[in-house]
């Protein structure tokens, strides 16, 4: 399932029709704070403010060729995947419906509507929203876009290809884990380039399904995923993603809500960048492991910067 180097390079050409490569920056204050040489991959600088756009662009490029008369698409999301689908669907002139759970980020919902998507609210969390989405796809005759798919993985893997080619000899890269496309993309790019970089997944303590699954060596679901980091708020792992993670990741790190809030505040103080909860989680994990990681050359995936103002005020106050 993992894409080859040629497939990642082909995906990059598709992505670059709509966006430029994102920067990787070594921030000195982050280095002081962590005791490492730290390179931040700024996926908060894409046209939707998150890495997910890359996957949507590659998926829709394929869909437009396979189903030129596609009547519309439907997907479930907590926000960034939905923005990716809405952005790419509009670029191809395809109607998009996005299902979100009740209580989803109001500002992410506004952004998806701005890209032209119809927003439907259903269920109390992502898992419930996704089950409803599958039924709606059949009932309404819409093309169902999952949140984890080989084409999405191929697209998001382009950010890792950029990082590894821009920054040589990274010892470790910390990656937030939602359903898994981001970390699988990093593993794919690392393996395609023949590198020895360690890949570390990061999850929230309140949404620890992938950490539990990694420890057990098999999918382990949780009863809830009530974390402020909605980009990693998953309670049922994807089996295909877990297989890649088990084979290619060094370890999984769990971080608490206060640690995530602190990392969000650190990003603002040290770089003046906005990091959503999932985007800040890798920095939180490095802070947690800084004694063991001291002196190493580390990459952090700042996966997105989309969050509601009230939560950001809370993060800055906590910091």
CATH of the domain at 128: 3.40.50.1100
Same domain, yes or no: 215 and 106: no
Same domain, yes or no: 305 and 175: yes
How many domains does the chain divide into? 2
Structural domain ending residue among the three candidates 127, 144, 161: 144
How confident is residue 224, by pLDDT bands cut at 50, 70 and 90? confident
Structural domain ending residue among the three candidates 82, 114, 144: 144
Domain that holds residue 19: 5-51+150-318
Same domain, yes or no: 170 and 194: yes
pLDDT at position 123 is 93
> Which helix H or strand E contains 254, and what residues bound it?
strand 251-255
Same domain, yes or no: 100 and 222: no
310 HSE (CA, 13 A, CB side): 4
* Per-state percent for the chain, helix, strand, coil, to nearest 5: 55, 15, 30
Same domain, yes or no: 170 and 258: yes
pLDDT in tens, 139-165: 999 999 998 999 999 999 999 999 999
pLDDT at position 313 is 94
Residue from 75, 79, 128 nearest 98 by CA: 75
3-state secondary structure of 218: coil
Same domain, yes or no: 196 and 59: no
pLDDT at position 106 is 87
Structural domain ending residue among the three candidates 109, 144, 179: 144
Q: Where in the sequence numbering do the catalytic residues fall?
A: 52, 303
pLDDT at position 115 is 95
Same domain, yes or no: 91 and 133: yes
Same domain, yes or no: 224 and 271: yes
Distance CA 139, CA 284 (A): 43
């Amino acid at each position: 399932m993992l894409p080859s180097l040629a497939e990642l390079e082909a995906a990059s050409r598709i992505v670059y029709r709509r966006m430029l490569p994102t920067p990787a920056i070594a921030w000195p204050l982050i280095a002081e704070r962590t005791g490492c040489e730290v390179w931040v991959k700024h996926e908060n600088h894409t046209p939707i403010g998150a890495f997910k756009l890359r996957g949507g662009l590659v998926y829709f490029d394929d869909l437009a060729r396979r189903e030129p008369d596609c009547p519309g698409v439907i997907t479930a999301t907590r926000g960034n995947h939905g923005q990716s689908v809405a952005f790419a669907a509009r670029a191809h002139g395809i109607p998009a419906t996005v299902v979100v759970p009740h209580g989803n980020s109001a500002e992410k919902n506004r952004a998806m509507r701005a890209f032209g998507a119809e927003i439907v609210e259903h269920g109390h969390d992502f898992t419930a929203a996704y089950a409803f989405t599958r039924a709606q796809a059949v009932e309404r005759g819409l093309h169902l876009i999952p949140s984890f798919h080989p084409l999405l993985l191929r697209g998001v893997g382009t950010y890792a290809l950029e990082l590894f080619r821009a920054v040589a000899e990274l010892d470790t890269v910390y990656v937030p884990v939602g359903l898994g496309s981001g970390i699988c993309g990093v593993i794919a790019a690392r393996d395609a380039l023949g590198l020895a970089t360690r890949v570390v997944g990061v999850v929230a303590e309140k949404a620890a399904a992938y950490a539990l699954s990694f420890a057990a060596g098999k999918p382990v679901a949780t009863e809830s995923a009530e974390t402020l980091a909605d980009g990693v708020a998953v309670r049922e792992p994807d089996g295909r993603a877990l297989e890649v993670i088990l084979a290619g990741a060094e370890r999984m790190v769990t971080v608490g809500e206060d640690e995530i809030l602190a990392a969000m505040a650190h990003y603002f103080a040290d770089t003046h960048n906005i990091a959503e909860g999932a985007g800040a989680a890798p920095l939180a994990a490095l802070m947690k492991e800084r004694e063991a990681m001291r002196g190493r050359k580390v990459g952090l995936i700042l996966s997105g910067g989309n969050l509601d103002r009230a939560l950001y005020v809370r993060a800055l106050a906590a910091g």
